[in-house]
Chains A and B, each alone.
Chain A
Amino acid sequence: MPTVAALHQVHKRYRAHPALQGVDLTLNRGEVLALLGPNGAGKTTLVKILSGLLRPDRGRAELFGRDPGDHRARRLLGMTPQETGFPPTLRVREVIELVQAHYENPLPLSPLLARLGLDRLAGRSTAALSGGEKRKLAVLLAFAGNPKLALLDEPTTGLDVESRRALWREIRAFRDRGGTVLLTTHYLEEAEALADRVVILHRGRVLAEGSVAEIRAMVGVKKVRFTSPHPPSLPGFEAIRENGTRVTVYTSDADALVRMLVTNGHPFSNLEITPVSLEEAFLKLTQEKT
Chain B
Amino acid sequence: MRLVGIHLKAELLALFRVPGFLIPSIGFPPLFFIMFAAPNAANTQVANQLTASFMTFAVFTVVFFQFGVNTAQERENPWYTYLKTLPAPPLTRTLALLATGLLFAALAALAVALTGALSTPLEINAGTWARLSLALLLGAVPMGLLGVSLAYLFSPKAALPVANLIYLPLSFLGGLWMPPEILPRWAQSISVTLPTRHWAELVWAAVRDRPWPQTSLLFLALYTLAFAALAGWAWRRARPE
Mutual binders A and B: yes
Interface on chain B toward A: helix, strand, loop, or mixed SS?
helix
Proximity string of chain A (41-80) to chain B, C-beta cutoff 8 Å, 1 when within and 0 when not: 0000000000111110100000000000001111101010
- Contact in complex: A79, B82 (CB < 8 Å): yes
- Contact in complex: B13, A89 (CB < 8 Å): yes
Question: Given contacts A74-B87, A79-B85, are A55 and B241 in contact (CB under 8 A)?
Answer: yes
Kindly provide the distance from the CB of A179 to the nearest chain B CB, expressed in whole angstroms: 16
Size class of A's contact patch? 20 to 34
Query: In chain A, residues 213-242, which have Cβ atoms closer than 8 Å to a Cβ of chain B?
Result: none
Taking the complex as formed, is B84 at the interface, i.e. its CB lies under 8 A from any CB of chain A?
A: yes
Q: How many residues of B contact A (CB 8 A)?
A: 24
CA distance A53 to B18 in the complex (A): 29
Taking the complex as formed, is A169 at the interface, i.e. its CB lies under 8 A from any CB of chain B?
A: no
Taking the complex as formed, is A85 at the interface, i.e. its CB lies under 8 A from any CB of chain B?
A: yes
CA distance A87 to B93 in the complex (A): 15
Q: Determine the chain B residues whose CB is within 8 A of the CB of A14 once the complex forms.
A: 240
Between A and B, 30 residue pairs with Cβ closer than 8 Å are A14-B240, A51-B85, A52-B85, A53-B85, A54-B240, A54-B241, A55-B241, A71-B87, A71-B88, A72-B87, A73-B87, A74-B86, A74-B87, A81-B78, A81-B79, A81-B82, A82-B82, A85-B78, A85-B81, A85-B82, A86-B79, A89-B17, A90-B10, A90-B13, A94-B13, A98-B7, A98-B10, A99-B86, A101-B6, A102-B3
Query: In chain B, residues 121-166, which have Cβ atoms closer than 8 Å to a Cβ of chain A?
Result: none
Taking the complex as formed, is B89 at the interface, i.e. its CB lies under 8 A from any CB of chain A?
A: yes
Interface on chain A toward B: helix, strand, loop, or mixed SS?
loop
Among the interface residues B2, B6, B79, which one has the most CB atoms of the partner chain A within 10 A?
B79
Kindly provide the distance from the CB of B199 to the nearest chain A CB, expressed in whole angstroms: 32
Proximity string of chain A (86-114) to chain B, C-beta cutoff 8 Å, 1 when within and 0 when not: 11011000100011011100000000000
Proximity string of chain B (87-103) to chain A, C-beta cutoff 8 Å, 1 when within and 0 when not: 11110000000000000
Q: A residues bordering B, Cβ < 8 Å?
A: 14, 51-55, 57, 71-75, 77, 79, 81-82, 84-87, 89-90, 94, 98-99, 101-103
Taking the complex as formed, is B214 at the interface, i.e. its CB lies under 8 A from any CB of chain A?
A: no
CA distance A101 to B93 in the complex (A): 13
Taking the complex as formed, is B182 at the interface, i.e. its CB lies under 8 A from any CB of chain A?
A: no
Q: Which residue of A lies closest to B18 (CB)?
A: A89
CA distance A230 to B191 in the complex (A): 89
CA distance A14 to B78 in the complex (A): 19
- Contact in complex: A87, B14 (CB < 8 Å): yes
- Contact in complex: B14, A90 (CB < 8 Å): yes
In addition to A71-B89, A85-B78, 15 A-B residue pairs with Cβ atoms within 8 Å of each other are A14-B240, A55-B241, A71-B90, A74-B85, A74-B87, A75-B87, A82-B78, A82-B81, A85-B81, A85-B82, A87-B14, A90-B10, A90-B14, A102-B86, A102-B87
